[in-house]
Structure 1
Amino acid sequence: MTKQRIGIWIIGAWGGVSTTAAVGLSALQKGTTGASGLVSENPFFEKLNLAKWDQFVIGGHEIRDTSFVDAAKHFSETSGVFHPALLQSVESELKAFDQNVKPGTLIHVGDTIRSLAGNSVKQYDQETLQDTISRLSADISEFQQKHDLAHVIVVNLASTEPPVEESAKTLSLDELKQALASAETSPVPASTLYAIAAMHAGCSHINFTPSAGTDLPALVELAEEKNVLHAGRDGKTGETLMKSVLAPMFAHRNLNVMSWVGHNIFGNLDGKVLDDPVNKSNKVHSKDHLLTEILGYKPQTLVSIEYIESMGDWKTAWDHIHFQGFLDTKMSLQFTWQGTDSILAAPLVLDLVRFTEREWRRGDRSGVMSHLSSFFKSPMQATTPEFERQYQQLEEWANKVSEESQSS
């Protein structure tokens, strides 16, 4: 039996994480890289019969004028991540993926993201909001038909938007449909417009960014109406991952955390966008709320994110934890996390696509996939903020899917 082909449609297709995911997928398809960093390659998940790497094809929306090939070469030159021989071996695959990328939208993206836009997307500046949604949705449907894809999973990897307007957080689906009559009356950002277009095309949706995406009541309703799966928000890759592992230790040992300071520096495109205080506020909130949820009280906290251009995609996070132990003795723990932002994030994107495809394949499934909470800083409908418990929920889901498969 011929294996079904699956589409990965990326919002922000030529960004650092997206390009790394495309290079990684191509290398996996050619068998020239190992499985390190891929959760879905853990032996525990072999029983799921996950989609094979050669079943996937990439396309997407982008606002900049570049390509996977050019972005990967720039990435290699500025961050030293990709070996030139690796890029040469996957160049033909990247060029094929490039043919599937279409111009996105600049509606409600904010001034900083708009400043990155190329000429290809600016031709749609006079487009109505409804025409934009129809165009974005048609792009995905055309991609699905062109490549004879059984299903398409849309992944938001675009730059972090400014915080969503408060009015959008209370809209019902009916109210949102009325508000979408024009860009002037619509309070939702571009990430949500992309999500609406994805759902209209019948696609699953993953929001790997701090942007609103589907994390609004109206979009939760729309997912149920369209019978589609979705999950998010904001990939948990580095410092916050450490917080979700270490904070429970302090709570379980009854050590009082008085303060937790996290200082982050990096120099990629995401860092450049987050250099805007408005965009940064969205990311800081996503990184900062976790401690209160785990500890049950709010210590003094400080999260700083600074753009240091020379660092490229390399990220350093330094954390200082000041805590109180027995006999009111004050002590401290410090750690430094250093890694490349995109290398940490890209395999998780590929994992999420595989797990989402498997949940879609179960049939008659829609709504928020809360069992994927371990992948996100601000997971939708999560029942616990602790990484270990979240990961147990992923394993419990895998056991359930495996049992269903064996009994059918």
Structure 2
Amino acid sequence: MKAAAEFVVESPDVVYGPEAIEAQYEYRTTGVSREGGVLKEANYYGSLTQASTVSLGLDAEGQEVFVPFSALLPMVAPNDLVFDGWDISSLNLAEAMRRAQVLDWGLQEQLWPHMEPLRPRPSIYIPEFIAANQSVRADNLIPGTRAQQLEQIRRDICDFRSKAGLDKVIVLWTANTERFCEVVPGLNDTAENLLRTIEVGLEVSPSTLFAVASILEGCAFLNGSPQNTLVPGALELAWQRRVFVGGDDFKSGQTKVKSVLVDFLIGSGLKTMSIVSYNHLGNNDGQNLSAPPQFRSKEVSKSSVVDDMVQSNPVLYAPGEEPNHCVVIKYVPYVGDSKRALDEYTSELMMGGTNTLVLHNTCEDSLLAAPIMLDLVLLTELCQRVSFCTDADPEPQSFHPVLSLLSFLFKAPLVPPGSPVVNALFRQRSCIENILRACVGLPPQNHMLLEHKMERPCLRQGQPVAPAYAGPCKKGSAPTAPNGCVGDANGHTKAEAPQMLTT
């Protein structure tokens, strides 16, 4: 190796002086944080079927045994699902992922080669049903009349089923919120009139065209947006064809919290009189909702979520009385998919008092909705394999085509005509859980745990019986409970424990 010769650095950042060399140097390094040495792995957090559990019952020690929700009945493995779809935007899924800016950049880089080959099929664009600001995306369209567009969607479904070798196809509407479609006698009030309307090219929304195409192909259709896609004619067609339909509007963030909180307030005997919900978000959903007709669809969907809870308590609310309920949604591009939800709940107390709760909820909109979409598909497919019969009607029958079992996952759940609408979240979840339990012969979950609440133990034969204490139980002689309590009353160490006679 040769010895280095003298050299001069020619740079505006280096100055040679008679006594020193002055260099302006920008030092860069990389900071790494260790997260316990654990690599993050893919998961299904947020999914009812994949990330929650149910109680089977009590074991020999009287402790509850929990199993994954998906273990109750055989369900399709989510990794076995095959995807296809339509979009008015021609971007492949990798480019759409980058435009949406939902996933971390590192994850996008890993997913890019898997997403880039996936490109949506052309879709239906009817400008008057969505906001005008969506026109810049509309470059991947199905041409022709409404009838021709309907037939193309049907061909797409058949093509997908054939090429992928599928037994079942379920169509899920996840596209933009549309304005409400007026229900007009002779236009969309019956299946016959709706099909005629499509044939002659009268008013029908894109989502309704997809619903009709799905039903005609025998595919379940689920509406994840708030508009009235499933007009009476579409519901009648589903009944005639015995095809499942469900809706409306994914229940993911603010509304899910509201359905829990109002149920808690009214169930606790507090008279909730004012509910004010404010949202701002910056994704394409927010941009579309900035148009008044589309916002109105969302407002109706969000506002109806407390109705059944109010009507369930005539002690608090007189007939026709209900809380003031205001919903506001604003488009703020900077926050992107990170939707901010602020809620204020004001309730009346005894003796003229009031109670106000204020919540701030940052919802990753798309990441909350994605597992709900998964649950909808898995539960719908499961319901297609369930049949019932009774002593009075021994002929096996399926669920009603309007699949109200899915209410837990929708803001404004559709139910069969004449059926009560349930919005209270835990009642909705119990419905799903108990029906699945019934399918394997398990009794409904009632949370009584009566064996732990009786004066004398009620144990199975052959199990030891806990010894009873003779005489009154005084402070100082009380046994220590599992929670550490030694009989002190309400934290007052000088208080004498209540006397309990035992046998």
TM-score, length-scaled by structure 2:
0.68
Q: 1:181 is aligned with what amino acid?
A: E
Please report how far the alpha carbon of residue 32 of structure 1 lies from its aligned counterpart in structure 2 after TM superposition: 4.0
Whether 1:188 and 2:220 are equivalent positions in the alignment is: no
1:37 matched residue in structure 2: 46
1:359 matched residue in structure 2: 383
> Could you give the per-residue CA deviations for residues 332-356 of structure 1, whole angstroms, max 9, x where no partner exists?
1111111210011111101111111
Q: Distance in 2 between matches of 1:102 and 1:402?
A: 41
SS of the aligned residue for 1:291 comes to helix
2:108 matched residue in structure 1: 87
RMSD, matched Cα = 2.1
Please report how far the alpha carbon of residue 175 of structure 1 lies from its aligned counterpart in structure 2 after TM superposition: 2.0
Count of aligned pairs between the two proteins: 362
Whether 1:344 and 2:344 are equivalent positions in the alignment is: no
Please report how far the alpha carbon of residue 209 of structure 1 lies from its aligned counterpart in structure 2 after TM superposition: 0.7
2:177 matched residue in structure 1: 160
**Higher share of residues assigned strand:** 1
Preserved CA contact (<8 Å) 1:45 1:398: no
Please report how far the alpha carbon of residue 217 of structure 1 lies from its aligned counterpart in structure 2 after TM superposition: 1.8
Residue from 306, 311, 314 that aligns with 1:291:
306
SS of the aligned residue for 1:57 comes to coil
Please report how far the alpha carbon of residue 166 of structure 1 lies from its aligned counterpart in structure 2 after TM superposition: 3.2
Residue from 61, 81, 87 that aligns with 1:56:
81
Preserved CA contact (<8 Å) 1:262 1:302: yes
Preserved CA contact (<8 Å) 1:286 1:378: yes
Please report how far the alpha carbon of residue 114 of structure 1 lies from its aligned counterpart in structure 2 after TM superposition: 5.3
Q: Distance in 2 between matches of 1:148 and 1:372?
A: 27
Q: Distance in 2 between matches of 1:356 and 1:332?
A: 39
2:65 matched residue in structure 1: none
Q: Distance in 2 between matches of 1:96 and 1:400?
A: 43
Please report how far the alpha carbon of residue 111 of structure 1 lies from its aligned counterpart in structure 2 after TM superposition: 4.9
1:389 matched residue in structure 2: 427
Whether 1:377 and 2:393 are equivalent positions in the alignment is: no
Whether 1:67 and 2:92 are equivalent positions in the alignment is: yes
TM-score, length-scaled by structure 1:
0.84
Q: 1:182 is aligned with what amino acid?
A: V
Q: Distance in 1 between matches of 2:409 and 2:176?
A: 18
Answer with 84-93 or 302-311: which moved more.
Answer: 84-93
Please report how far the alpha carbon of residue 66 of structure 1 lies from its aligned counterpart in structure 2 after TM superposition: 1.1
Q: Distance in 1 between matches of 2:118 and 2:242?
A: 28
Answer with 46-55 or 264-273: which moved more.
Answer: 46-55
Q: How do residues 61-140 of structure 1 correspond to structure 2 at under 5 angstroms? A: 61-76=86-101, 81-98=102-119, 101-107=120-126, 109-112=129-132, 115-121=135-141, 124=143, 127-140=144-157
**Higher share of residues assigned helix:** 1
Where structure 2 has 5 or more consecutive residues not aligned to the other structure, the ranges are 1-39, 53-67, 312-320, 388-396, 443-503
Point out 4+ residue stretches in structure 1 off by more than 4 angstroms.
none
Preserved CA contact (<8 Å) 1:57 1:97: no
Please report how far the alpha carbon of residue 316 of structure 1 lies from its aligned counterpart in structure 2 after TM superposition: 0.8
> Could you give the per-residue CA deviations for residues 99-131 of structure 1, whole angstroms, max 9, x where no partner exists?
xx211111363452652443331x61xx11111
Preserved CA contact (<8 Å) 1:236 1:377: yes
> Could you give the per-residue CA deviations for residues 171-190 of structure 1, whole angstroms, max 9, x where no partner exists?
1112222222222x3x3311
Q: How do residues 228-307 of structure 1 correspond to structure 2 at under 5 angstroms? A: 228-296=243-311, 297-307=321-331
Alpha carbons of structure 1 residues 75 and 110: separation in structure 2 relative to 1, 3 Å: closer
Preserved CA contact (<8 Å) 2:273 2:346: yes
Q: Distance in 2 between matches of 1:66 and 1:301?
A: 39
Q: Distance in 1 between matches of 2:130 and 2:216?
A: 24
Answer with 354-363 or 309-318: which moved more.
Answer: 354-363
Preserved CA contact (<8 Å) 2:134 2:288: no
